[in-house]
Structure 1
């Protein structure tokens, strides 16, 4: 089947867009324009965006924002208040550690404690009528980085569906959304690689074969800080201010919507293991794969027949 593929720079990474069937270049260009539009609203890595404006007004006044920004920020606030590990206000702590950048360092306990006072998700207000967001304390910082890619991937899929497109791949730098029946295999399933946490990026320890889905991973191997042999990763616990410690190297969630995948990878990573009742009431969550530090692969709602193990140093547990 014919396909069209193009790579773009965006969202702080390389974005790979692929369409199958009879696509034209404008189908990809317009999708990339959507990415640029949402990034201009949500980013905190530019001088100006709606989120930057909210942060600059912290402790001063509410900020009225667009429909898209308001909806995503409100969802981020409500999720943060559930206290399962996700916290859209953890930005001051992330910048304090700065793991993954040249000036990364281990902060003092006093520095961490001071930043923890700026991460309380109840210290903010949202107004549905005016579509305003107000951070009540100066120094608070809203950051949608943990869910923005999922939201944007879902919007691209909506756009391609509106054009009548049936199959495609949306890869937003590790956040993967596989649309429609795969034209690459006779059984029309997609093959999704599970990154080996101990190997260079792109080297997988297993592949999972599933119908159309989103695949989102939370892992401790992408950004780290090594201080005297002690490895600190970038996933911070909003309760302690330190990298969250458990036996997981990664967890990958497969779902209908990419935004759900973003949320649920965080939930499961902080749980550290399968949650017994997880996803039972949500048919749009298809399952998860946990990779442990002691080289075990734990499947939840994923049948073993859907997984091909490629590294015999790992063992699949059902």
Structure 2
């Protein structure tokens, strides 16, 4: 009697597009069982929603709002997850000399919602990452200046993508892609055992000269000069603004950061955009496990030392 071999179903990419954290996410997992893949994508979505709630400033009882309410008053004990995220954020602020900063100033408001300036200009000028005091032993966060706030708009999507990847890997997903509003996080290999590239992770970027860069087990975050999209307010064109000097940055169309961590890539893209081509390349070239691709307003491509483009 002949034994009949049953071939296992061929692995394919299962994708789902969903709106999360105010942006479009596309979650892709490689597998051969549609039901299993659907459940795993549900797990990733649940984790992203958890991170959004954790870092929200819209809920009165959120840990971030508790820290903000006590600005200039006293330290606030928080959970380990938020404490570590703030600590990492401050380290990136120091690394970029304040070009990346999770702090900002919010004027107090009276009963009819009119801003009331109760802090001197000198105090407002001190509102930056250096005014955040962390106590690792007590796990407390203290914003030294009244009116100070912290927010994670610049790195929350990257952190959420990292967490979703972790959950998927724990659930046995050996290969996949998380596309968070155009920022990419990949792990494993494609179904044909080829590495993920920017083009295969995000087909909309196939036309880019750097689309075939191998990004398996890496993240790519891109910051784009909004002038490209001709956004206008009061008939004035919007540019990327240098946070230190307050006027538009010229010469850079986009910056893409390649890193093992989506949170780190997300955090570094805008600072490199703000400090310019030469300073940005110099900074990235000093750091381990980071690379960047810069496109100027003449579509010339500049890369850090660890990237080689073959056109």
Structures share fold, TM-score greater than 0.5:
yes
Q: CA deviation at 1:71?
A: 0.3
- The equivalent residue for 2:51 is 38
Counterpart CA distance in 2 for 1:224 and 1:138 is 37
Q: Which one of 89, 92, 110 corresponds to residue 103 of structure 2?
A: 89
The equivalent of 1:99 in structure 2 is none
- The structure-2 alpha-carbon separation of the partners of 1:32 and 1:189, relative to structure 1 and needing over 3 Å to count, comes to closer
Q: Could you tell me whether the CA contact under 8 Å between 1:64 and 1:130 is conserved in 2?
A: yes
Q: Deviations over 1:133-179 (max 9, x none)?
A: 11111211101111222222112222222222111111122221022
**Aligned position for 1:54:** 67
Q: 1:62 to 1:159 in 2, by over 3 A?
A: same
Q: Please tell me the root mean square deviation across aligned C-alpha atoms, in Å.
A: 3.1
Is 1:273 aligned to 2:277, yes or no? yes
Aligned pair count? Answer: 278
Question: Given the superposition, is the C-alpha separation of residues 203 and 84 from structure 1 closer, same or farther in structure 2, using an over 3 Å criterion?
Answer: farther
Match of 2:152 among 144, 148, 152: 144
Deviation digits for residues 94-150 of structure 1 (CA, Å, limit 9, x no counterpart): xxxxxxxxxxxxxxxxxxx68952632222211112211111112111011112222
In the alignment, the residues of structure 2 paired with residue 224 and residue 144 of structure 1 have an alpha-carbon distance, to the nearest angstrom, of: 26
Matched with 2:170 is 162
* Match 2:237 to one of 231, 238, 243: 231
Which residue matches 1:259?
263
Structure 2 CA distance for aligned equivalents of residues 237 and 68 of structure 1: 30
Task: Structure 1: give runs of 5+ residues left out of the alignment.
Answer: 94-112, 196-200, 308-318
Q: Which structure shows the bigger proportion of residues in helix conformation? A: 2
TM, length-normalised to structure 1: 0.76
Contact 2:12–2:31 under 8 Å retained in 1: yes
CA distance 1:91–1:166, shift in 2 (3 Å): farther
Structure-1 separation of matches of 2:129 and 2:207: 37
**Residues in 2 aligned to 1:43 and 1:79: alpha-carbon distance in whole angstroms:** 21
Write the distance in 2 (CA, Å) between the matches of 1:152 and 1:181. 21
* Residue equivalent to 2:19: 9
* SS of residue paired to 1:237: coil
Structure of larger gyration radius: 2
